Structure 1
């Protein structure tokens, strides 16, 4: 074989080799992380990470608070055979080690110090929710970095393109119906007197911005993106549509019928109450798509003065 032909064949072979030809390194909140090959056995210690892996077509071998994910997030669907490794705030190091992971994904506020986890496997630390952050941007960053680690960049591109197209479609529907002129207050009930109201710091804000809607609540919240307020405080935003996010407190409808705090709120009297299914407000990019679709459907359907 001539030298030129051998060179051509070696060059062609190099072109078809996987992208992971050598060790790659990423910087994260806990330091640096190096991998020699795309990880196959991944443990996710928060639900935003679990959601992101599933969006990329990768099923983690273990997750924290599995039953909670199924109850509160549930989209994307988590397969039944995924192991539970304890709670998000106190995962079991023993349970994680037994799964023999080659990557652990965690965040600073939900898990032990990453040094303990790094004794088990390479650990990637990213906090979508932290002071002065923009959750949607951080969630997209997590999607991009994990897709790079997993050699699934095309899947990440497809996910983000789908979300972008969905947001545009929903905005077009609202603009055609002339429903982008009145501000939106997004709340979830804690009891019949107190609510969480979602602020401009929240993941939900990305959906409002993309739909051309204004957040009616003017104040900042905590770094999770909400403020806990008394129901009477909603009266501070009279010219708004009030969107109630499920699940509802048991017996809430009966309590509100007898509540002067509720019955005299301007959105109630103006029949501008909307009820929508839950989108996990502390999740990843997919939750923005879910909220945009359900919110658009509710606004197009029209408001009432009742919470069902």
Structure 2
């Protein structure tokens, strides 16, 4: 017998509320924003519901999302029926999703935590969000410890990379075969780059995330720079990049100064900051020293 959509939702919500999974002392939190989701997970907790979990697992990668977390669908249009059924005590968003506040508040209280603001380095905002989430979950000590561990991890990598930091770095992602997105000082990757002791080769303005689209030729403007290429990369671009004449003509590419970074969340919190720092460190160790 085929299940109706309503029955399917009821089964999914019922599994979350089953006797064996009775409410814990922690509040039941749902979140729309991926930076908030990864922070909750990094603190060793789990929300009752979040958005676009299939894509989250592919792009954010870590921390892992438990199968008990209900998938609300699109971040821009979450499934309100399912959200109501899982009955959260609090819904966390960021400023990106303020336009959803009115109808989310019909289900549960909504709180917007800091993520990205134009002209502000996002790392301290991510620390504030982690502290706030720790308070909401009743684990403030764990949140403070995670912040301290993150700072110590980045500081250790800065020391290990100090011999490589004499050259600036373009941190980019590729949207197509001819254009890139540049991450500036007010992007998480750009902020972490500075904390690792490197100058950002991209000095033009960005808008709290990146400047895009920029022609590939612009990467030749700082010929001595490294290029840190962050995934995900469209499959057609990945296949064609080795034969891309413009790419291969860039000074950094010719000199072997390209660090390939595995897929990392461009709009993440401290967990993504740590992942970027670790992968950047590993990738830089594999590049030529020229």
Sort the TM-score into its range (normalised by shorter chain): 0.7 to 0.9
CA contact (8 A) 1:91 1:111 kept: no
1:234 aligns with 2:253: no
- The 2-side partners of 1:304 and 1:257 are apart by 21
Q: Normalization by structure 2: what TM-score? A: 0.86
Q: Normalization by structure 1: what TM-score? A: 0.81
> Secondary structure of the residue that 1:110 maps to in structure 2?
helix
Instruction: Give the total of aligned pairs.
Output: 267
Per-residue deviation at 1:192? 1.1
Could you say which residue in structure 2 is the equivalent of 1:100? 87
| Aligned with 1:293 (options 278, 282, 288) | 278
CA contact (8 A) 2:98 2:112 kept: no
- Give unpaired runs (5+ residues) of structure 1: 1-36
258-267 or 142-151: which moved more?
Answer: 258-267
Could you say which residue in structure 2 is the equivalent of 1:244? 229
Could you say which residue in structure 2 is the equivalent of 1:58? 45
1:196 aligns with 2:175: no
- The 2-side partners of 1:59 and 1:221 are apart by 33
> Secondary structure of the residue that 1:113 maps to in structure 2?
helix
- The 1-side partners of 2:137 and 2:127 are apart by 15
1:160 aligns with 2:138: no
- Give unpaired runs (5+ residues) of structure 2: 1-23
> Secondary structure of the residue that 1:228 maps to in structure 2?
strand
1:217 aligns with 2:174: no
Per-residue deviation at 1:263? 2.1
Highest Rg: 1 or 2? 1
Cα-to-partner distance string for 1:223-249 (whole Å, 9 max, x where unaligned): 223432111121112110111112333
> Secondary structure of the residue that 2:172 maps to in structure 1?
strand
1:173–1:84 CA distance, 2 compared to 1 (3 A): same
Could you say which residue in structure 2 is the equivalent of 1:32? none
RMSD: 2.1
1:147 aligns with 2:143: no
| Aligned with 1:72 (options 59, 65, 79) | 59
Could you say which residue in structure 1 is the equivalent of 2:71? 84
- The one of the two structures with greater contact order (alpha-carbon pairs below 8 A, sep at least 6) is 2
Could you say which residue in structure 2 is the equivalent of 1:3? none
CA contact (8 A) 2:59 2:232 kept: no
Per-residue deviation at 1:251? 4.3
1:50–1:80 CA distance, 2 compared to 1 (3 A): same
- The 1-side partners of 2:52 and 2:99 are apart by 15
Per-residue deviation at 1:255? 2.8
Cα-to-partner distance string for 1:4-61 (whole Å, 9 max, x where unaligned): xxxxxxxxxxxxxxxxxxxxxxxxxxxxxxxxx9752111101111111112222101
